[in-house]
Amino acid sequence: MSNATKVTLSNPSRLYKALACLVLALIALQYILSGGLDTRPIEGLFSTNGTRYPEHSPRHHQRGLIIYGAETVQTYPTVIVNHTSTTIVSPLVVGLHDVNNATKFDTNTTKFIPPLNKIIFNSTLQQRCPLIPPNLVGPLAILKNPPEMSVLETRLKDVNQGGRGNPKNCASRHRVAIIIPYRNRYEHLVTFLYNLHPVLLRQQIDYQIFVVEQEGTGQFNRAMLMNVGSVEALKERQFDCFIFHDVDLLPEDDRNLYTCPEQPRHMSVAVDKFRYRLPYADLFGGVSAMSREHFQMVNGFSNAFWGWGGEDDDMANRIKARGLYISRYPANIARYKMLSHQKEKANPKRYEVLRSGEKRFTTDGLKNLRYELIDKKKFKLYTWLLVRLAPMKKKS
């Protein structure tokens, strides 16, 4: 045995130190090899149809950075990206609006993604927003007497056409489609927008509100409208998650974050109508959030619940069947006020449909969703979709 070995074996603390040094050295080596210390800028120009312009190819694209391009050669900005910032340096920038509609080039997958993101473009790409939004106020006074829609539209200056908002000084961590199943509740809708937009803006969410209205006077199908909302929302942008929101529920605390959840999140935990108590453990109705992946994994909501009730319970079953679970914020934060309205007639068959739900988890949902989009408008404070729902085909 060599002298050195004898020393380390006879002194275990030295052995540990040597091992620790070795581990640290390996970590540092891996960091350097993965480009962690490489601060060279990346330069790249890309067209929206996915062509990369070789003369401007990225010199280095290992770090999962995203590079944005513009529509035509003439309007190309040069985009320099390094670890923390992106800067446009080209004097060729004629219209930055072209950049806003740019294709994303994902350097991780080396694939082009069609224009989905509104890029926050000053001279530098902003830092990601802090995990905890700095301007939250906590408990909120619910505003029950909104001004007229036209007045509200001018007041909510920071909301963009279609009911979109995103933080001004940082890049949001969450792209959220807020989906509202809707029919005949205009007053509620105005109140909802009046209360919700300021909360979402303070929470630094990158969001869009979709109001999905069921045409006609047939039985309401809340679940199906939410399925439609998710499908239509994804035609606009690659949202990270959906928040399904009854139009009559208003959050009472802006610490109840409308962010994308790790696990399906039931958000309306404590509602005044239920005396701020959760009626039962598996409740998933009112306001609930799901990541795009999880929503697609469970095949969305069932389309089989016509009339009031049951569809959220079926979703809770789908969630459990897939090994997911319902998460919740604490009840002192996840509080809501419900606007008053006439009680809907409950679907007497809902328990029956619910009991047989499991058989249909993989077939009934996003997979067999049939509807007709009759109209779509981007109002200032929301995107409106009018849809005709088609009943499920009976098996012959």
Coil, strand, or helix at residue 372? strand
What's the min distance (Å) between Cβ of 286 and ligand BGC? 7
What's the min distance (Å) between Cβ of 312 and ligand BGC? 5
Per CB under 6 A, the segment of 44-52, 92-100, 288-296, 307-315 that binds ligand BGC is 307-315
DSSP structure string for 106-161:
ETTTTEEE-S-PPP--SSBPPPBPPSS-TT--SB-----S---HHHHHHH-TT-BT
- Give the distance, in angstroms, between the CA of residue 222 and the centroid of all CA atoms in the same chain: 20
- What is the rounded CA–CA span in Å between residue 390 and residue 261? 31
Per CB under 6 A, the segment of 94-102, 123-131, 234-242, 304-312 that binds ligand BGC is 304-312
- What is the rounded CA–CA span in Å between residue 164 and residue 167? 11
Per CB under 6 A, the segment of 49-57, 166-174, 247-255, 310-318 that binds ligand BGC is 310-318
Residue number, 246 or 254, with CB nearest to ligand BGC: 246
Residue number, 264 or 310, with CB nearest to ligand BGC: 310
Q: Residues 314-353 vs ligand BGC: string with x where CB under 6 A?
A: ------------------------------------x---
**Single-letter residue type at 22:** L
Residue number, 213 or 246, with CB nearest to ligand BGC: 246
| 167 belongs to the binding site for ligand BGC (CB under 6 A) | no
Coil, strand, or helix at residue 178? strand
Distances, alpha carbon 239 to alpha carbons 5, 268, 309, 379, in Å: 58, 21, 27, 20
305 close to 391: Cβ distance less than 8 angstroms? no
DSSP structure string for 294-342:
HHHHTTSS-S---SBSSHHHHHHHHHHHTT---B---TTTSEEEEPP-P
Per CB under 6 A, the segment of 52-60, 154-162, 305-313, 317-325 that binds ligand BGC is 305-313
Q: Residues 348-377 vs ligand BGC: string with x where CB under 6 A?
A: --x---------------------------
What's the min distance (Å) between Cβ of 273 and ligand BGC? 9
Per CB under 6 A, the segment of 72-80, 244-252, 309-317, 374-382 that binds ligand BGC is 309-317
What tokens were used for 51? 């062509």
Q: Residues 247-286 vs ligand BGC: string with x where CB under 6 A?
A: --------------------------------x-----x-
Residue number, 153 or 272, with CB nearest to ligand BGC: 272
Instruction: Give the number of other Cβ atoms within 10 Å of residue 257's Cβ.
Output: 25
Nearest position to ligand BGC, beta carbon? 285
290 close to 267: Cβ distance less than 8 angstroms? no
Residues 37-96 that bind ligand BGC (CB under 6 A): none
Phi, psi of 295 (to 5 degrees): -65, -40
Residue number, 165 or 309, with CB nearest to ligand BGC: 309
Residue number, 257 or 316, with CB nearest to ligand BGC: 316
| 310 belongs to the binding site for ligand BGC (CB under 6 A) | yes
Residue number, 350 or 360, with CB nearest to ligand BGC: 350
Buried b (16+ CB within 10 A) or exposed e, 347-370: beebeebbeebeebbeebbbebbe
| 162 belongs to the binding site for ligand BGC (CB under 6 A) | no
251 close to 135: Cβ distance less than 8 angstroms? no
Please identify which residue in 251, 300, 309, 357 interacts with ligand BGC, judged by CB under 6 A: 309
Coil, strand, or helix at residue 355? helix
| Site residue total, ligand BGC (CB under 6 A) | 7
| 312 belongs to the binding site for ligand BGC (CB under 6 A) | yes
- What is the rounded CA–CA span in Å between residue 203 and residue 173? 10
| 313 belongs to the binding site for ligand BGC (CB under 6 A) | yes
Per CB under 6 A, the segment of 87-95, 121-129, 308-316, 327-335 that binds ligand BGC is 308-316
What's the min distance (Å) between Cβ of 279 and ligand BGC? 6
Coil, strand, or helix at residue 373? strand
Residue number, 147 or 279, with CB nearest to ligand BGC: 279
* Size (the chain), residues: 396
Residues that bind ligand BGC (CB under 6 A): 279, 285, 309-310, 312-313, 350
